Chain A
Amino acid sequence: SQKIEQNSEALNIQEGKTATLTCNYTNYSPAYLQWYRQDPGRGPVFLLLIRENEKEKRKERLKVTFDTTLKQSLFHITASQPADSATYLCALYTGGFKTIFGAGTRLFVKA
């Protein structure tokens, strides 16, 4: 079956460290992959998009990698801050009019 997996366990890290979140998928060939941030009680907010022919994309302290052979994307936040604490969702576009979302990983950055 088609599936997107994000680590359901929360990720706890110390301020200043690099947070790395994983998005794995099976049985998809996504044209692109997106990462969103969701704060409690709020809707998701778009962060970054990476296409199938791109290996890496950066935006300020954020970096996304995309390995279509491993069927995996990694999302990195460098020099993490307590304000980065949130749930991070990955989403795949696989064709048609639909985007498929993962369940998200909660990140806690401790001061």
Chain B
Amino acid sequence: NAGVTQTPKFQVLKTGQSMTLQCAQDMNHEYMSWYRQDPGMGLRLIHYSVGAGITDQGEVPNGYNVSRSTTEDFPLRLLSAAPSQTSVYFCASSYSQPSYSNQPQHFGDGTRLSIL
């Protein structure tokens, strides 16, 4: 199993450009999520999905879109890149949604995104 795979690993964009960060998992996990990690701050949830066709907003959704057409893939789209979106982005998956049962998340190795 590859686990959670994120592409690209690095990307530089100009302000106003759009792009899609890819995330794929091969563990047949229901729950997938996107986080951003900034220095001195915890991982902040952008969007999440509890299954194919179902997505919802997290803590910091503005400027980002997601879709979940298959169980395996959960791409994150930046609509019009801004310097404030410079960050490291992590995709994660777990067998089912966080709940009162034991559900650790499996993370990819991130995409390092710089917006000039």
Binding site for B on A (CB under 8 A): 4, 8, 31-32, 34, 41-46, 49, 89, 91, 93, 96-104
Contacts and interface: CB of A to CB of B under 8 A. Distances in A.
B48 interface: yes
A44 B42 contact: no
Contacts of A99: 45, 98, 105
Interface string B29-42: 00100010000111
Nearest to B106: A46
Contact of B102 (A4, A49, A96): A49
Interface of B: 4, 31, 35, 40-45, 48, 50, 56, 58-59, 90, 92, 97-100, 102, 104-110
Main secondary structure of the interface of B (DSSP, over half): loop
Contact of A89 (B42, B98, B102): B42
A43 B48 contact: no
B42 A100 contact: yes
Given A32-B102, A93-B98, A97-B31, A44 B50 contact: no
Contact of A43 (B45, B100, B107): B107
Given A97-B48, A98-B58, A45 B42 contact: no
B75 to A, nearest CB: 17
A29 to B, nearest CB: 12
Contacts of A42: 109-110
B40 A8 contact: yes
Contact of A97 (B35, B98, B110): B98
Contacts of B56: 97
Contacts of A31: 100
Contacts of B45: 98-99
Nearest to A44: B107
B42 A97 contact: no
B64 to A, nearest CB: 16
